[in-house]
Amino acid sequence: MTTSASIADAERPAADGAAGIAAPFDPGEFTRLLIATREGNPESWSSLVRLVYADLRRLARRHVMTVSDHNTLGTTGLVNECYLRLVGPARATVENRRHFLNLASRVMRQVLCDYAREQLSTKRGGAQRREELLRVDAEEWAESEQLVILDDALRALEQRCTRLARVFECRYFAGLGEEETAEALGISLRSVQRAWREARRWLAERLV
């Protein structure tokens, strides 16, 4: 999963050979559905999600591949959990398609981190006997712990500098390239490069 060295040296190529985070689509349709959602149309949000469903699956696949070989949520499960979390008040904050995908990526990361915490909590439960703990897959346990540790460190980084945390999320968890990250966050390519280097250095120093 994650070590200080792997974070310091991380260069995550885009998965599936994709050049970008989205397939071609009509941007006007997304805007129309977003406006209708804000006006209270109950069907518009579902239509909006269907419009970018391929993008959501692509993001989910990257997150699952990055986090763990043992993750049992899978791409479809992660997309479904993301949808359930976005269907509430969070959807009212969506500004445009770029912002929607950035928000979805953050939600997916949190879903995986929450899942890892739940797995660790279950395995440490007082009702579980010691012999059962001994049968827990050691590699899966270690990956869950590392993910939780990284999540805690990333939260600390976010308190220090939100931009660094967002760039790291896009590059490391969502597997976006430099240009994709710049587009997703609405910042310059140079800013992405600088933030990526600084975020990796800061996290690596704290994950020794």
Of residues 17 and 87, which shows the higher confidence score? 87
Does this model's pTM top 0.75? My answer is no
- What is the percent of the chain with per-residue pLDDT over 70, rounded to a whole number? 72
Query: Hey, which of 1-5, 16-20, 29-33, 122-126 has the most confident mean pLDDT?
Result: 29-33
Residue 108's domain spans which residues?
A: 4-206
Looking at per-residue pLDDT, the higher value among 200 and 70 belongs to 200
Contact at 8 Å (CB) between 208 and 11?
A: no
* Average pLDDT value for residue range 31-59: 88
| Helix, strand, coil percentages for the chain (3-state, nearest 5) | 75, 0, 25
Question: For residue 108, what are its two tokens?
Answer: 């997916």
The alpha carbon dihedral of 65, 69, 73, 76 has a sign of positive
Number of folded domains that form the chain = 1
Look at residue 10 and give its three-state secondary structure.
coil
Both tokens of 8, joined, read 């310091």
